[in-house]
């Protein structure tokens, strides 16, 4: 289970709206206790995917390094990532699954005609062949 405040959920929606019709992306920092991932900070980053930003996202190695360093300095962990699906449902694509890492939460917000709609969260299932839905608490 993942918990994000209403303010953080709004931050993800605002980022998705601002980057539409392209996919936005960012990291989620926080702590984990007893299986509950408590997100306390978002780190929006530039989508650097080379094949176009409409249907794919990529966070650069440099941005990941800086995010990890910042998290450690604050005694936080990178607990997952968020991205948007412009004019598509808020469920992971095959590309998302192929590039996902175990443990992390993947929040996806659907953006329909420029306005954020559904938001879901997913974790990579054991074996990496599918995603499991993850409850979002606010």
Q: What is the pLDDT of residue 51?
A: 77
User: How far is the C-alpha of 31 from the C-alpha of 112, rounded, in Å?
Assistant: 32
Closest CA to 134 of 111, 100, 108, 98: 108
Residue-by-residue pLDDT tens, the chain, 138 positions = 999 999 999 999 999 999 999 999 999 999 999 999 999 999 999 999 887 667 789 999 999 999 999 999 999 999 999 999 999 999 999 999 999 999 999 999 999 999 999 999 999 999 999 999 999 999
Going along the chain from its start, the domains and CATH numbers come out as 2-137 (3.40.140.10)
Q: How many residues appear in the chain?
A: 138
pTM, to two decimals? 0.95
Q: What is the pLDDT of residue 53?
A: 66
- Which CA distances in Å does 95 have to 8, 10, 30, 130, 131? 26, 26, 26, 11, 12
Q: What is the pLDDT of residue 61?
A: 95
Phi/psi for 93 (5° steps) reads -90, 170
């Amino acid at each position: 289970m993942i918990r994000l405040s209403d303010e953080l959920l709004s931050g993800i929606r605002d980022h998705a709206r601002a980057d539409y019709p392209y996919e936005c992306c960012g990291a989620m920092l926080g702590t984990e206790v007893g299986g509950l991932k408590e997100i306390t900070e978002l780190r929006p980053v530039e989508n650097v995917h080379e094949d176009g930003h409409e249907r794919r996202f990529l966070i650069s190695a440099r941005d990941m390094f800086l995010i990890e360093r910042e998290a450690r300095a604050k005694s936080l962990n990178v607990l997952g990532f968020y991205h948007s699906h412009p004019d598509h449902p808020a469920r992971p694509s095959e590309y998302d699954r192929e590039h996902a890492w175990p443990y992390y939460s993947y929040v996806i917000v659907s953006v329909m005609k420029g306005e954020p709609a559904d938001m879901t969260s997913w974790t990579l299932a054991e074996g990496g062949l599918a995603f499991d839905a993850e409850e979002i608490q606010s």
